[in-house]
Structure 1
């Protein structure tokens, strides 16, 4: 069920075995509304069901009070990959990593550089990164930012 409280702008969402609470300063009431919320270590991860290009996906994440996910550790990467397998293993998801400013210089959406060793799957030589749950070892790939993909948003718990 969804319940909106105008005074606190609380957003309650219940999905199967996950019950999550998120206080939003803005609530996106159109197709940005996600299907799957998962909480882990003080963060909400939002897995979209709809497909959008990278820019539109990022805007939806921002409308929810977050941004496309920034993956800070191999543990976080494995957690997200497992969630993708649980939800739908054969679908790529946008993450908040791009080299659109300078070819080969990968920056997260908060402008921090990619500083860990990532095993990339050679999908193409494009500018926006995706994560997959089904690629063995190589969890990330880069594809055209204009492709229509699902996304993972990261929203801080408030």
Structure 2
């Protein structure tokens, strides 16, 4: 009887981990192996990242077009006239963008969704990435660089393996 129970327990753990169920903290939204929190208060970039780290997460790191589309869809429905911070910056070396969660340069060929002509480091003052509310030839929510001291809402991402996710 004991052997049978252990086999059932093992099978359940294996099944749950292979299907990647994600349970998120209250007010967080699950998508694939991550949870997202859309923090409505306008903060500068550094304060936004600090807010996310206080919640065991980071500003969102967008890996691919599907994740980007998921985020665009969410912000279109919750705050359609607002730009939102994402976790991308070139503060250390101009033109070398890094995601704040891994502090590594974006690799050539990595997914991006920059608006036409962006990033442009306007007046040598823009070093932080956001999803910009704007319309570029009918396309909304493209990436833009902005002044890091500008204030926008933040998108935090809690990735699978970080302390709060049960999966």
TM-score, normalising length: structure 1: 0.72
Determine which structure has more spread, i.e. the larger CA radius of gyration: 2
Please point out which of 120, 136, 140 is paired with 2:114: 120
Give structure 2 stretches of 5+ with no counterpart: 1-22, 160-164
Please point out which of 16, 20, 25 is paired with 1:22: 25
8 Å CA contact 2:63, 2:111 repeated in 1? no
The structure in which a higher percent of residues are helix is 2
8 Å CA contact 1:81, 1:133 repeated in 2? no
Distance verdict in 2 for CA 1:84–1:46, change over 3 Å: same
Aligned equivalents of 2:83, 2:33: Cα separation in 1: 24
RMSD: 2.2
Residues 7-156 of structure 1: pairs in structure 2 closer than 5 A: 21-22=24-25, 37-109=28-100, 110-115=102-107, 116-121=110-115, 122=118, 125=121, 126-132=126-132, 135=135, 136=139, 139-156=142-159
Deviation at 1:76, TM superposition (A): 0.5
Aligned equivalents of 2:61, 2:41: Cα separation in 1: 20
Aligned residues: 127
User: After the TM superposition, which parts of structure 1 deviate over 3 Å for at least 4 consecutive aligned residues?
Assistant: 132-135
**Matching residue of 1:32:** none
Deviations 1:115-140 (A, max 9, x none): 32534234851100001465416610
8 Å CA contact 2:64, 2:111 repeated in 1? no
Deviation at 1:87, TM superposition (A): 0.5
Aligned equivalents of 1:38, 1:21: Cα separation in 2: 7
